[in-house]
């Protein structure tokens, strides 16, 4: 089953090395169970996005290991893929980038013909370069945002509500980032999605000064770094405080790391069951 990762560092750029490589259940380790693609997207302090992805296992991806150690930014989104729709190509590998936003998804959305028709109605069919349901979901959010003046949360709510009412859905867990904001959605209850709010820590309060984790939270001059908010498909370590999003719950993290949780979505009109999926798609959604 695909795994999602998101990180918001507030206004202080940092790395995500601990979570991507060194945590007990790092994203790299999760990639052993999700071998069809891996990708990292990050927004630097100047607002520019860097995206690096390959249709291979994160464990064997030297670019992933390098990026996990060197990329610094204010927001991150990363993904390891177990393919349900689309070939093993770069075009079908997450995250996706459109209009200065990055996006990754875990789940299955059916009715792709209807979704393509809706994109055509919004003059947005050209936004899709691959075969996946995930990229289509992102294209719909982007198309709505282009028409509403760039209100990302409103676009996300409108697009997901249309999908929930019009096409079959097994799961629509997602992470969407800009240079200043992060959104995460768990919808419906099929797959878990967790978040963890870090508190500030001082060097010397029981942490190994040489560890990647402390370097990710403390600047080289020893000044305490801003706290961070992590989003993940699994609890990646044993730290207390991991909180599961409720089914249908949308998490927003702003540039000051203020978190807002809302529940804007009702029941799916056309829920899918694993038994209704093709064998490959069904296998991709089992833990």
Distance CA 55, CA 38 (A): 6
Least confident of 63-77, 128-142, 158-172, 222-236: 222-236
- pLDDT tens column, 68-94: 999 999 999 998 876 666 666 877 888
Distance CA 166, CA 36 (A): 29
Q: Residue 237 — very low, low, confident or very high, per pLDDT cuts 50/70/90? A: very high
Share of the chain above pLDDT 90, in %: 66
Mean pLDDT to the nearest integer, 105-127: 95
Q: What is the pLDDT of residue 276?
A: 74
Above 60 in pLDDT, residue 154?
yes
Least confident of 52-61, 147-156, 174-183: 52-61
As given in the structure block, the two tokens for residue 117 are: 């028709």
As given in the structure block, the two tokens for residue 95 are: 């995250």
Q: What is the pLDDT of residue 28?
A: 85
As given in the structure block, the two tokens for residue 143 are: 């198309």
* Cβ contacts of 221 within 8 Å, gap of 6 or more: none
User: Which one is predicted more confidently, 53 or 194?
Assistant: 194
Above 90 in pLDDT, residue 134?
yes
Mean pLDDT to the nearest integer, 41-61: 84
Distance CA 184, CA 187 (A): 10
- pLDDT tens column, 16-43: 999 999 999 988 888 766 567 789 999 9
Mean pLDDT to the nearest integer, 137-153: 98
What structural domains does the chain harbor?
A: 26-178+187-246+277-284 (3.60.20.10)
- pLDDT tens column, 185-195: 999 999 999 99
Q: What is the pLDDT of residue 56?
A: 62
Mean pLDDT to the nearest integer, 227-244: 95
Q: What is the pLDDT of residue 284?
A: 57
Q: What is the pLDDT of residue 2?
A: 81
- For residues 50 and 71, the answer to whether their CB atoms sit within 8 Å is yes
Helix (H, G, I), strand (E, B) or coil at 153: helix
- For residues 93 and 45, the answer to whether their CB atoms sit within 8 Å is no
Above 60 in pLDDT, residue 247?
yes
Distance CA 90, CA 214 (A): 33
Q: What is the pLDDT of residue 29?
A: 82
Provide the mean pLDDT of the chain: 86
DSSP summary character for residue 16? -
Distance CA 26, CA 29 (A): 5
As given in the structure block, the two tokens for residue 184 are: 């995460």
């Amino acid at each position: 089953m695909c795994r999602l990762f998101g990180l918001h560092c507030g206004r202080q750029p940092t790395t995500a090395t601990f979570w991507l490589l060194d945590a007990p259940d790092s994203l790299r380790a999760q990639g052993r169970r999700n071998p069809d693609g891996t990708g990292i997207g990050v927004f630097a302090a100047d607002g520019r996005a860097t995206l690096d992805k390959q249709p291979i296992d994160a464990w064997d991806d030297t670019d992933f290991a390098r990026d996990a150690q060197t990329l610094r930014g204010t927001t991150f989104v990363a993904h390891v893929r177990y393919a349900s729709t689309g070939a093993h190509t770069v075009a079908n590998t997450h995250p996706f980038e459109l209009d200065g936003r990055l996006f990754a998804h875990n789940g299955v959305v059916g009715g792709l013909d209807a979704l393509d028709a809706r994109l055509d109605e919004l003059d947005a069919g050209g936004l899709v370069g691959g075969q996946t349901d995930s990229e289509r979901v992102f294209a719909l959010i982007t198309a709505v945002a282009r028409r509403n003046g760039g209100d990302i949360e409103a676009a996300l709510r409108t697009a997901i509500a249309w999908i929930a009412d019009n096409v079959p859905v097994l799961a629509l867990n997602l992470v969407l980032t800009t240079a200043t904001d992060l959104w995460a959605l768990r919808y419906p209850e099929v797959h878990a999605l967790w978040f963890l709010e870090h508190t500030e820590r001082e060097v010397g309060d029981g942490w190994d000064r040489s560890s990647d984790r402390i370097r990710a939270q403390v600047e080289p001059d020893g000044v305490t770094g801003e706290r961070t908010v992590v989003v993940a498909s699994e609890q990646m370590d044993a730290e207390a405080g991991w909180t599961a999003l409720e089914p249908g719950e949308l998490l927003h993290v702003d540039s000051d790391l203020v978190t807002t949780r809302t529940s804007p979505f009702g029941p799916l009109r056309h829920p899918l069951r694993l038994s209704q999926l093709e064998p490959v798609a069904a296998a991709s959604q089992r833990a």
